[in-house]
Chains A and B, each alone.
Chain A
Amino acid sequence: MSYYAFGIGGTGAKCVESLVHIAAAGLLPDKEDLHVLFIDPDGANGSVGRATSLLKNYRDCRLGKVGSEELFKTKIEPLRAKDADDNEPYIWSPLAGGKYQLDSFYSSTLLSDETRFLFDILFTPEEQKTNLEVGFRGRPAIGSAVMATAVDFEKSEPWRSIRKQMEADVGNSKPVKIVLFGSIFGGTGASGFPTIGRIIRDWVEDLRSEASSAVDLGGVLLLPYFSFPPVEDQGVAANSEDFLLNTQAALQYYANKNNLGVFDRTYLLGSENRIRMREAKVGGRLQENDPHFIELYAALAAADFFGTESEAGAPQFILAARKAGDRLTWSDLPNSTDVQKKLVHLARFCYSFLNTFHPMISDIVGRGSEYRAPWYIQFFKYRGVPVRDQLDGKLEQFRTYCQRYLLWLANIEYSVGENLTDGPNLIASSSYATAEQDRRGGEVRIRDRFDADGLDTLHLPGEGKALGPAAIWNGMSDTHTRANADEATWTFFNSLYKQTGN
């Protein structure tokens, strides 16, 4: 099986961000590779930037993985154009070539008179001249026109390479599952989701029948779940007050044209309580919206799609709802026991690593006295690991990832009720995060020092009490390994993962 995930626009990128986190927790089925593509005309978009940075971090952490633990079990490969730099995160823009205005994209001065008149009817002069470098500004009509032209499975990269890769998978009897993430209410997602879905479906139908049955297309479509204050003095811009109207119009359009019929499975997600984003920006680096629990649902939807056998017949639509509109409990999530177990397990791992093991390693490298940590002697000293180098390498990569994961979880928690202290919804986050209220609203941050007893509040499902920090320390100190220097660091992570899951 091969898995492909396309994150369209900022919301799509945030869904991919959540997908990466659940992949780290081992929630994707079996051990097949996941291929990811970000699609956004605004390459500097803060949400996209955060997601691509996370993806790079994930891949760096996973490099050199040994053992069969669930931790980072899924290999994630970014999809790229043929000649793209392997070291750079890849974000495909339909506006490549420097044509950031609609009229220059279509070379409107070269259009015939009739085409020019149609162009003028469909798009206002302001829309024709708007700089689209920061996105389609909440105008799916603009985006659809651009996407339909730019996405070409035959001629343009990366689509040609992606097509060849998927055809190779199918040729090797490897079923292909493709999922698109996008919002229905924005600009890029709303335009790209049906357009790219249709293009992929057309390609699938052109395959031989046995090959086409090996390709499944899923769509995760997000209805409005956030709002933001109006953007001042920016000309054409998205307005969150129009989201519901846009959604109504879009859903009506989908129904009339059966646009969602191109998907074998469609997941529709939304929240009636729309969280207010801290700051409104047209685009660019500052358009970075905090993670939201809906994106966790989106990622779990993709995991469900990947793990479900395809069924011939009419397309399926999956709906889900919480029991209470102002709370989110584990039982509100699909496959709740497994999801809770793995997400909490990874949280316990990250908590332990950040609060205990990484600071201890840093202190030993700086001040010596390694006898204080028997596990350090067994995993690093006896194995001949150059720990000082690792502190700048693998250990730092994991430290960064663990902070990102806990911050993501805390934001998920915060997005339910806009606070961290009023009782946990999913995970009690106040032991490692704070939500500081400032003029822009609440920003969730990771604490410099976690509560010593905080690990005890991260409950694994099932009966019995999970190991506390002292027991984990002792468990690690009693663990021996014969790993060589190259494998010892990952062996350490595997052992810590195992201890924190008990």
Chain B
Amino acid sequence: MLRVVLGLIFAGLLTAFCLIVLIPFEVSILENQINVSPFAGTSQQQWLAIFQDTAFYQVWTAFFFSLAWLLASWYRYQIKYWKRAGGRLLWSGFLIVLLLFELAVGWFRTDPTQDVSGKLAAILMYVGNALLIFYLSSLLSSPTSVKYAPIGAVAVGRVNKFW
């Protein structure tokens, strides 16, 4: 249970990082580097405000998916009999559903831009934020019985003795 609590704290810290640091940074990238140009009827500031709102809710969505994975896997994978061991299918399911959700919500909530790269960049940022929170928190703090379920966890575990 301690690992679940630590996992929650870690997911929370990543969420806070995204909210406080990453999203403002992404807004600045979209405004200054990419210089998104919405179509007539929407100013750039309005477009960026919608992006920021959407990113805010997407980040919280990723946090709750991380929470759901931590709790569901901790509950589901109390291994009384060896055939119950596993977790990768469930983890992959959570990841795919989260990414599809982020893509769908991001696509429909984000107004189109004259240069398609603007909207694509915004969607990539939504997905990247979600991956950062869900993947990192599950990679580093999944419950003990499924700590190697996330793809890549076996390689990371070889050097991470805290595991």
Q: Which residues of A contact B (CB under 8 A)?
A: 355-357, 359-360, 363, 369-374, 377-378, 381-382, 452-453, 468-470, 473-474, 477-478, 480
Contacts and interface: CB of A to CB of B under 8 A. Distances in A.
Nearest to A473: B79
B158 A371 contact: no
Contacts, number: 61
Contacts of B154: 370-371, 377, 381
A452 B82 CA distance: 10
Contact of B86 (A357, A369, A378, A452): A369
A469 B158 CA distance: 26
Interface of B: 78-82, 85-88, 144-145, 147-149, 153-154, 157-158, 161, 163
B157 A473 contact: no
Nearest to B148: A371
Given A363-B82, A369-B86, A371-B153, A473 B145 contact: yes
Contacts of B153: 371
A482 to B, nearest CB: 10
Contacts of A470: 78-80, 145
A470 B79 CA distance: 5
Q: Is the interface of B mostly helix, strand, loop or mixed?
A: loop
Given A371-B88, A377-B154, A377-B157, A474 B144 contact: yes
A477 B80 contact: no
A372 B147 CA distance: 9
Contacts of B147: 374, 477
Nearest to A476: B144
Closest 9 CB pairs of A and B: A470-B78, A371-B148, A372-B85, A360-B82, A473-B79, A474-B144, A477-B144, A469-B80, A356-B82
Given A372-B85, A372-B86, A382 B158 contact: yes
A374 B80 contact: no
Given A355-B81, A381-B154, A469-B81, 6 more contacts: A371-B87, A371-B148, A371-B153, A473-B79, A474-B144, A477-B144
B73 to A, nearest CB: 12
Contacts of B81: 355-356, 452, 469
Given A474-B144, A480-B161, A371 B80 contact: no
A451 to B, nearest CB: 10
15 contacts: A369-B86, A369-B88, A371-B153, A373-B85, A377-B154, A382-B157, A453-B80, A468-B80, A469-B79, A469-B80, A470-B80, A473-B145, A474-B79, A474-B145, A478-B144
A374 B144 CA distance: 8
A378 B145 CA distance: 12
Contacts of B163: 480
Contacts of A355: 81-82
A453 B88 CA distance: 26
A374 B86 contact: no
Nearest to B150: A371
A363 B82 CA distance: 10
Contacts of A469: 79-81
A481 to B, nearest CB: 11
A363 B158 CA distance: 22
Contacts of A360: 82, 85
A440 to B, nearest CB: 33
Contacts of A373: 82, 85
